[in-house]
Structure 1
Amino acid sequence: MTVETRFAHSPSAVAAMSTSQLRDAFVADLFAPGEVRGVYLHHDRILALGVSPLAEPLDLPVPDQVRARTLLQRREAGVINVGGPGRVVADGSDHPLAHTEALYLGRGTEQVRFVSDDAADPAAFYVFTAAAHVDLPTTRIAREQMNVVEIGTPDASNHRTLHQCIIEGRTRSANIAFGFTTVHSGSAWNTMPPHTHDRRTECYLYFDLAEADRVFHIMGEPDETRHVVLADRQLVASPSWSVHFGAGTGPYSFVWATAGENAAYDDMDAVVTADIR
């Protein structure tokens, strides 16, 4: 288990950062075969993990950063499988997760184990955790149980499908909103036009990119933007004051996940495209 700590940064600090400093502050590689890797963010105390079991299962770790008996003693989690078929065993209950199926793990869940059904096509579990103040039931979220929203247009190069997994009115959480978006063939932009949300930190995990493709991810204040270039299964964190959008050189999807003061999906402040600098 390897869990890095990333500290919070102000807009003025980010505006002065080099490319390598931006990557060190906001980008993480979470997935390595047979390992658990993670990043602990001082932005809203988010802990994000990549769990990559092969022939042997992997258990949910308890990093030193959370100072808890179990990881979910005071936390909740959203889980999505971005790899081959697998299962999550939570307190003895088996939850099969195919590619892009999801699971909500409630506060107080004691034992969590991750399993790949086929070591030749291993599962890859992205686990997004945040502090929780209520106990809510563990819930499997199959594709047919997600709220699906079509957004954007081909003419604007931003046609995409949102799959809302953990969201008010569907699967409840204490303060997590969680889902994934697939950008349609021929489009490039995600989350365009962009927004900020001052009450929530958001993380993007880009996935299903070809090896040669990249996403150019834009962050920073709307009038003082910066960018980082991301490959398949890389995570980028966006502070609550920052925009978060990007464009890919080929087909891709991304998991979006927020935590903070407000879990309402529509709690955001729109940014006019013409105002971006």
Structure 2
Amino acid sequence: MHKTNLRRAIDPRHAKTMSSAELRAEFMIEDLFKDDEVNLTYTQYDRMIVGGAKPKSGPLAIDAVDQTGTPSWLDRREAVLVNLGTGGTVEAGGETYSLGRCDMLYLGMGTGAVTLSGEDAYFYIISAPAHRAIPAQLVTIDDARQVPLGSRDTCNERVIYQFIHPEGIESCQIVMGMTKLAPGSIWNTMPAHVHERRSEAYIYIDLPEDQNVVHLMGEPDETRHMIVRNEQAVLSPRGRYTAALARLLIPLSGRWRATIWPSPIWIWSRWKTSNEPLFTAGKPRICDRREHRHRSGNRD
């Protein structure tokens, strides 16, 4: 079974007036993993897709997604799949990939239909628009680049596992990795920061049933918070009003983080003359969004 929900963009002034329930409805994704279902959320924040799939009783396929406006969901998009269970298999682009726990698989534009299987596997899914095809690549948790940060004295000792990033696996827009806290550390992000240039999505994993995360968001001088439970995802759009300033974990042993960096096609806008090419020397030009939509015949 395949389900896709739509999340529309929220104005910063509107976000300030929201109740806790309204914030959760707009910025949290609570039920990602249901047996024998693919659950996708198509957001208007950089048109990022956040989803989950759990092929408990048999294979699950992802192909046509209406919101992308293309025959197959990756015709003009890229995706990263993370196995949060064990013994997972992904069939894509005529190849079969085996994913252990916390392994990531990058799939490039034009991959086509994707089939997921594994009785004890369940997959976290991130997808974003792409401007060129990049070969698929699997990176295991053991192969990820590890960057130690923080200090026990400030309760934020942690290791960042970099999977999809500029110095590792190539992508068009997605940067993705995992942050794992050391025992006794409770702050995921310190010092606080804002997100003016990118949208992000977070999923918190390995939380005991009786423990939660306090996820802070909002303007630096007027924050809001949401209580997040195990395997729930949070959207953090571009702009300071939804910046994830800090996350207080009570405690947390692992966190997946997916970042959408700005695409020159979408983020920067300017008009260009009719004889300028959309792509030059294999690199995307900065152009107006409406122009690209017209040229591609694609509303994604």
Structure 1 and Structure 2 fold alike (TM over 0.5): yes
| Aligned counterparts of 2:63 and 2:151: Cα–Cα separation in 1 | 42
1:267 matched residue in structure 2 = none
| Aligned counterparts of 2:73 and 2:25: Cα–Cα separation in 1 | 25
Q: How many angstroms does 1:224 deviate by?
A: 1.3
Structure 1 gaps of 5+ residues are 264-277
Matches within 5 A, 1:137-148: 137-148=135-146
2:288 matched residue in structure 1 = none
**Which deviations, in whole Å up to 9, do the C-alpha atoms of 1:177-224 show, x marking residues without a partner?**
011111111111112112123221000011111111111101111111
Matches within 5 A, 1:88-237: 88-116=90-118, 119=119, 122-237=120-235
1:21 matched residue in structure 2 = 22
**Which deviations, in whole Å up to 9, do the C-alpha atoms of 1:99-133 show, x marking residues without a partner?**
111010000001211111xx3xx111111000000
Query: Matched residue of 1:20: which SS?
Result: helix
| Aligned counterparts of 2:58 and 2:176: Cα–Cα separation in 1 | 28
Do the aligned residues in 2 keep the contact of 1:91 with 1:110 (CA within 8 Å)?
yes
Per residue, is there more strand in 1 or in 2?
Answer: 1
**Which deviations, in whole Å up to 9, do the C-alpha atoms of 1:228-256 show, x marking residues without a partner?**
11111101001112321311223332111
Do the aligned residues in 2 keep the contact of 1:148 with 1:161 (CA within 8 Å)?
yes
| Aligned counterparts of 2:78 and 2:32: Cα–Cα separation in 1 | 19
| Aligned counterparts of 1:26 and 1:214: Cα–Cα separation in 2 | 17
| Aligned counterparts of 1:98 and 1:220: Cα–Cα separation in 2 | 36
2:85 matched residue in structure 1 = 83
1:269 matched residue in structure 2 = none
Q: How many angstroms does 1:69 deviate by?
A: 0.7
Q: How many angstroms does 1:258 deviate by?
A: 1.5
Q: How many angstroms does 1:67 deviate by?
A: 1.4
AA at the equivalent of 2:95: S
AA at the equivalent of 1:83: G
AA at the equivalent of 1:92: G
Query: Matched residue of 2:142: which SS?
Result: helix
Q: How many angstroms does 1:79 deviate by?
A: 1.2
Kindly tell me the number of residue pairs found equivalent between the two proteins: 259
| Aligned counterparts of 1:178 and 1:51: Cα–Cα separation in 2 | 18
Q: How many angstroms does 1:261 deviate by?
A: 1.3
Query: Matched residue of 1:145: which SS?
Result: coil
AA at the equivalent of 2:4: V
What is the identity percentage for the equivalent residue pairs of Structure 1 and Structure 2?
A: 36
Do the aligned residues in 2 keep the contact of 1:76 with 1:130 (CA within 8 Å)?
yes
Asked which structure has the greater RCO (Cα within 8 Å, sep 6+), the reply is 1
Q: How many angstroms does 1:47 deviate by?
A: 0.8
Q: How many angstroms does 1:260 deviate by?
A: 4.1
2:297 matched residue in structure 1 = none
AA at the equivalent of 1:93: E
**Which deviations, in whole Å up to 9, do the C-alpha atoms of 1:148-178 show, x marking residues without a partner?**
1111111111111111110002100001101
| Aligned counterparts of 2:253 and 2:17: Cα–Cα separation in 1 | 30
Q: How many angstroms does 1:87 deviate by?
A: 1.2
**Structure of larger gyration radius:** 2
1:7 paired with 2:14, answer no
Query: Matched residue of 2:13: which SS?
Result: helix
| Aligned counterparts of 2:79 and 2:153: Cα–Cα separation in 1 | 37
2:71 matched residue in structure 1 = 69
| Aligned counterparts of 1:7 and 1:188: Cα–Cα separation in 2 | 32
| Aligned counterparts of 1:146 and 1:207: Cα–Cα separation in 2 | 18
Structure 2 gaps of 5+ residues are 265-300
Residue of 54, 76, 96 corresponding to 2:56: 54
Do the aligned residues in 2 keep the contact of 1:76 with 1:129 (CA within 8 Å)?
yes
1:272 matched residue in structure 2 = none
